[in-house]
Every structure is written in C-alpha cells, then in structure tokens.
Amino acid sequence: MFSLRQLNNHVFMPSSILQNTIIRRYAAQITSIHAITSLKTSPTTKQHTVEEGNKRKQLLERPGLFAIKQGMITWFTAKGEQIPATVLEIDSCEVIDHKTSKEHGYDANVIGTIDKLKNYPRPHELKMFEEAGVSPKHKFGEFRVRDSSNLLPLGTELKASYFAVGQLVDIKGITKGKGFAGVMKRWNFKGGRATHGVSKAHRTPGAMGGNQNPGRVLPGKKMPGRMGTSNMTDFNKEVLHVDGDAGILILKGCIPGPNKGIVRVSDALKLYGKSLNQLARE
C-alpha cells in the first residue's frame, strides 16, 4: 500500500511539490503462529525400520517345532464318528541356537531335527552344534518369538507333549509336486466342447491375447506350467492325540506335503498371536 504525505497545504501537486513528497510502503507485520522459531518438533518415526516392523508383526509367545509327516489314518471319536487324521513324528527336535534383537534385529529360536551323525555336509556349522551340546541335525530353522524372554535354553528337547490335545496349531509345508500341468488340472478350467467342429482343442485354454485389444497377454494370466511344490500354510488344525514318549502327534484332517516330508508345527497364530503394539495397548 502506497500513501503520499504532503509537506504543504497545496491542493494541486505540481512537479515542484512532487519532488518534496515522500513515498512510503506499509506492509502487514502479523507474526504467524507457524513461524515460531523457538518451537522444536521431534523427528518422525520411520515405519519401515526393523524395530518398528517387529512391533507390528503378529508373533507367538513360544516357538514351534519340526515334524515328519508319516501318512493319514482314520480316527474314531468317543461318539463313534469317523474323522480323517494325519500322523506326525517328532524326531530329536532340539534348540541349537538363538537370534537376538541386539545382534540380528529380532528374537528367534533356531531348532533342529533328525540327527545326522556322519558325513555332515557343512563342516562350518559343527561349532554351533558343539556349543549347544547336541548332535548335528539334518534340518534346522528359525522360529520367531515376541522378545528375548521367550528364548529357550540351548539343548532343550521339544517333544510331542509340547502341544496339548484339543488345541489348535498351524502347519507350514511344501505341497506335493505335480509336474507340468495344463490349465484344466492346474486352474480347473472347463475345457472346450467335445463336438460341433472342435478339433484337437478340447483341453486348451483358448484365446488369451487378442489381436488389437489388448494385443498382448496380460501379466498374471492363468496358463499351463509347473504345478505344486509351493509353500502352504494350514491354519487352525486340531490336535487329536499326543504321545510324548513315542514322538507321535495326530492332527485332524490333511496337511500339505508328501509322506516323509518335514513340516513346521506351531501354535495357531490367529488365536494365540499378538503384536507388541497390541500388548502395549492392553
């Protein structure tokens, strides 16, 4: 905003008077509340860090174990009901190492199964078994837990009695390999017609690309390919029978993987799993 301040009482302002006129500019000087320099804010928390990810992750209070699938049987209840069931064998399942949050960013128990007393293929891992006081294992892996208080002592043996009859468990395994399969077997396609001029195209997927629109095969299209041999998790499988001395665990229903395959058995995550953020709110 500009204003003229006259130095005399003349009504008209000739050039001689304009020379003695001072032009000033007045600007608003209201201080914004967002411009307070003395207020310091704390930096935002990076949500993609390992520590923040551990707080959001659904974790169990205790680790699981490895089991060997031995096949399926028929289970009869006290009422005479006939139920399909799967027999699992627990063979020398022991704690061999720990993963701590200070060193690795998370807490986990390393558990091995099936003793391998000779011709161990990885000599650099023998020191780990020696420190735990156990024999070398054919198979071992990590089972994450909530915090360091849930780490089991080295050398602890986990038996089938680790689980209780009636509780629910989760089974993680690798499904059976089916080899190269077509779309009818792999994706349950209906297939083509058996008559009316169909020639050698009864089990083919049919048109999939198009000439001009879209003019290509879209990503994710269900096509023939290798079927099976993929990771799978079965949730909330009921425990029907437990024999700790014999190492036998019987579950209701079927589980992924072939006979003699190794699966991971743990408490039901949807029922017993909680995150650190959820525990803090409680």
Report residue 38's pLDDT band, with 50, 70 and 90 as the boundaries: low
Segment 50-58 shows an average pLDDT of 85
Highest mean pLDDT among 32-36, 38-42, 273-277: 273-277
Domain co-membership, 263 together with 175: yes
Domain co-membership, 119 together with 168: no
**CB-based contact 62:231 (threshold 8 Å):** no
Segment 210-215 shows an average pLDDT of 89
Domain co-membership, 70 together with 144: no
CA 27 to chain centroid, in Å, comes to 59
Report residue 17's pLDDT band, with 50, 70 and 90 as the boundaries: low
Examine the pLDDT at 2 and tell me if it is beyond 50: no
Last residue of a domain, one of 158, 177, 210: 158
CA-to-CA separations, 84 to 33, 59, 163, 238, in angstroms, rounded: 71, 30, 20, 12
Segment 46-71 shows an average pLDDT of 89
Last residue of a domain, one of 104, 138, 158: 158
Choice between 95 and 16, residue whose per-residue pLDDT is larger: 95
Segment 51-57 shows an average pLDDT of 86
Residue 214 preceded by cis peptide, ω within 30: yes
Segment 105-134 shows an average pLDDT of 92
47 domain-assigned: no
**CATH number of the domain residue 108 falls in:** 3.30.160.810
pLDDT of residue 28: 56
CA dihedral of residues 58, 63, 69, 74 (deg, nearest 10) = -80
Q: Which domain holds residue 101?
A: 92-158
pLDDT of residue 26: 58
201 domain-assigned: no
Helices and strands in the chain: count of H runs, count of E runs? 7, 14
